[in-house]
């Protein structure tokens, strides 16, 4: 119960999920690993991403004794988490199921969109997840998808707005702008950092949805069911680790995440 919750992503994107979790469950201890030494995941073969995810998850269990893992990365989820779920004796949460659920339920017209990395979109993970939600809830949904190569690199450089981001967003989002969707899921945990630009390109009639809050609710509900929530009321401990340049991680991390990220440590196996 007093063990930490582990979170990982290829870099800074998972901080959007960490923020939602910390806001919802502030008494929990957290260990966040950003695999910036090997990012981006989105353009890599899914077998490689699966291997990275496995190393990170095993480290969170074996080196940090976490009680649950949140895979705060759509690409790692799209690469497949079944092996982790069978190997590790703790709950493993992903962001794809909660994201699909959020976008289907938020849409009024049933025409929804998702954007993500090349790895996520080409895996078909969202097609399956949206179909599963539609079947479960009896809500019909028509999904349009677009891969957005380049978005993650802007976030990892801390370049969240400006002409270059806008030009790329206009080009990549053009197919969705024509698909008459009313709700767009940001199917990469990095994209909420670009929400202003994405929102401007899609226009005021398209609601942007991220999986962060929905994932945090799923974590809370499942840990409560398993009697694994930390019951104390003081603020939990937060550790941030990076497999890349730790100083750069701390600096950009603090700019994106806020003052909770004052120190970063080196992660290695």
Q: Looking at the annotation, which residues are catalytic?
A: 73, 188
Does 50 engage in binding with ligand DGL (CB under 6 A)? Answer: no
Does 189 engage in binding with ligand DGL (CB under 6 A)? Answer: yes
Q: What is the rounded CA–CA span in Å between residue 165 and residue 97?
A: 28
Give kind and range of the element (H or E) at residue 62. helix 46-64
Does 74 engage in binding with ligand DGL (CB under 6 A)? Answer: yes
Q: Give the closest residue to 125 by CA, choosing from 190, 59, 81.
A: 81
Work out which of 188, 206, 216, 241 binds ligand DGL, going by CB under 6 A: 188
Question: What number of chain residues touch ligand DGL (CB under 6 A)?
Answer: 18
CB of 29 vs ligand DGL, minimal distance in Å:
23
Site residues for ligand DGL, 8-27, by CB under 6 A, read: 9-11, 13
Residue 234, Cβ neighbours under 10 Å: how many?
Answer: 8
CB of 140 vs ligand DGL, minimal distance in Å:
26
Work out which of 4, 6, 34, 40 binds ligand DGL, going by CB under 6 A: 40
CB of 1 vs ligand DGL, minimal distance in Å:
29
**What residue number has its CB nearest to ligand DGL?**
42
CB of 54 vs ligand DGL, minimal distance in Å:
16
Does 41 engage in binding with ligand DGL (CB under 6 A)? Answer: yes
CB of 151 vs ligand DGL, minimal distance in Å:
9
Q: Write out the two tokens for 174.
A: 């053009």
Q: What is the rounded CA–CA span in Å between residue 62 and residue 44?
A: 26
- Omega within 30 of 0 (cis) for the link into 251: no
Q: Is 227 exposed, middle or buried (0-12, 13-18, 19+ CB in 10 A)?
A: exposed
Stretch that binds ligand DGL, among 69-77, 138-146, 233-241, 256-264 (CB under 6 A): 69-77
For the window 191-230, what string marks contact with ligand DGL as x by the rule CB under 6 A?
Answer: ----------------------------------------
Max Cα–Cα distance, the chain, nearest Å? 50
Q: Write out the two tokens for 14.
A: 């998972």
CB of 71 vs ligand DGL, minimal distance in Å:
9
Q: What is the rounded CA–CA span in Å between residue 120 and residue 171?
A: 19
Q: Give the closest residue to 34 by CA, choosing from 207, 255, 242.
A: 242
Task: Using the minimum distance from each CB to ligand DGL, give the nearer residue, 27 or 118.
Answer: 118
C-beta of residue 241 within 8 angstroms of C-beta of residue 14: no
Q: What is the rounded CA–CA span in Å between residue 14 and residue 101?
A: 19
Work out which of 19, 67, 190, 230 binds ligand DGL, going by CB under 6 A: 190
Does 168 engage in binding with ligand DGL (CB under 6 A)? Answer: no
Pairing of strands 238-242, 92-94: unpaired
Interaction site with ligand DGL (CB under 6 A): 9-11, 13, 39-42, 73-75, 116-117, 120, 152, 188-190
């Amino acid at each position: 119960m007093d063990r930490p919750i582990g979170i990982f992503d290829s870099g800074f994107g998972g901080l959007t999920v960490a923020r939602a979790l910390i806001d919802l469950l502030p008494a929990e201890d957290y260990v966040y690993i950003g695999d910036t030494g090997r990012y981006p995941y989105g353009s890599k073969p899914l077998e490689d991403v699966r291997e990275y995810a496995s190393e990170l998850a095993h480290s969170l269990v074996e080196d940090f004794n976490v009680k649950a893992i949140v895979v705060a990365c759509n690409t790692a989820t799209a690469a497949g988490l079944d092996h982790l779920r069978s190997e590790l004796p703790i709950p493993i949460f992903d962001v794809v199921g909660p994201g699909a659920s959020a976008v289907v339920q938020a849409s009024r017209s049933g025409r929804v969109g998702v954007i993500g990395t090349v790895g996520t979109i080409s895996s078909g993970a969202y097609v399956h997840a949206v179909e599963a939600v539609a079947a479960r809830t009896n809500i019909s949904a028509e999904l349009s998808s677009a891969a957005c190569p380049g978005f993650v690199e802007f976030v990892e450089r801390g370049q969240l707005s400006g002409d270059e981001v806008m030009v790329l967003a206009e080009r990549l989002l053009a197919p969705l702008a024509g698909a008459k969707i009313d709700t767009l899921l940001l199917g990469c945990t990095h994209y909420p950092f670009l929400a202003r630009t994405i929102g401007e390109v899609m226009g005021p009639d398209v609601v942007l949805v991220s999986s962060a809050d929905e994932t945090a609710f799923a974590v809370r509900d499942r840990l409560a069911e398993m009697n694994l929530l930390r019951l104390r009321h003081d603020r939990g401990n937060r550790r941030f680790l990076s497999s890349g340049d730790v100083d750069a991680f701390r600096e950009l991390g603090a700019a994106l995440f806020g003052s909770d990220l004052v120190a970063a440590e080196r992660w290695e196996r």
